[in-house]
Amino acid sequence: MIAAIAPAIFLLSGKTITQVLGLLANSIAVDGNIVGVSIATFVMSLLSNTWEEVGWRGFALPRLQKNHSALTATLVVGVLWGMWHVPLFLWQGHPMSNYPFLTWFIGTMAVSFIYTWLYNSTRGSLFVVTIFHVLTNTYGVLVSGVSVAALAMVYSFVALCLVAIFGKNHLAR
């Protein structure tokens, strides 16, 4: 349930922070049929994000956590996951090429803690982290006007709370 609702809450919180602080929104402009674009985003995300999660959370994270704390494993996976997206920033015309990379990277590092918490709290459910990832992308189409900086703030706050509440060693309930 959290994996399905949290992405919308995070995006709406980011939108509120964007508006309150008067930040520049980096949202992807959707021309035309929002329902069609949302469905297309959902399907594309389902096909691509599933495999990202198999690699990052299904393969890398559990292996790193065998010898390192959840904090260290999350930082390593977060850096690798962030760098994995660099080609999208270099691809002229891709929506992410307009994002401020460093701010986006900080947000990606922070949201990695949410993924680790979801994964560890569900005893390694790739389904849960995939739903979170897919719905984050899908809701991102529906919730416009969100600054990358505001979203990084939201993710960073949640990441700090998760580490403070659940601990750096296991990062799980």
What's residue 28's pLDDT? 65
> Is 44 contained in some domain?
yes
CA dist 129 to 13, 40, 52, 136, Å? 20, 20, 10, 10
Query: pLDDT tier at 93 (50, 70, 90 boundaries)?
Result: confident
Query: pLDDT tier at 172 (50, 70, 90 boundaries)?
Result: confident
**Closest alpha carbon to 102 in 117, 85, 119:** 85
Average pLDDT over residues 151-172: 96
**Closest alpha carbon to 133 in 116, 157, 153:** 116
Write the pLDDT tens digit of every residue in 1-56.
Answer: 899 999 999 999 999 999 999 999 876 666 778 888 889 889 998 999 899 999 99
Tokens of 108: 């990606």
Average pLDDT over residues 108-135: 97
Tokens of 111: 């949201």
Domain limits for position 160: 37-166
The answer to whether residue 105 scores a pLDDT higher than 70 is yes
Domain tally, the chain: 1
> Is 10 contained in some domain?
no
The answer to whether residue 153 scores a pLDDT higher than 90 is yes
What's residue 17's pLDDT? 97
CA 171 from centre of chain = 17
- Return d(Cα 85, Cα 107) in angstroms, integer: 13
> Is 1 contained in some domain?
no
> Is 55 contained in some domain?
yes
Report pTM.
0.93
> Is 7 contained in some domain?
no
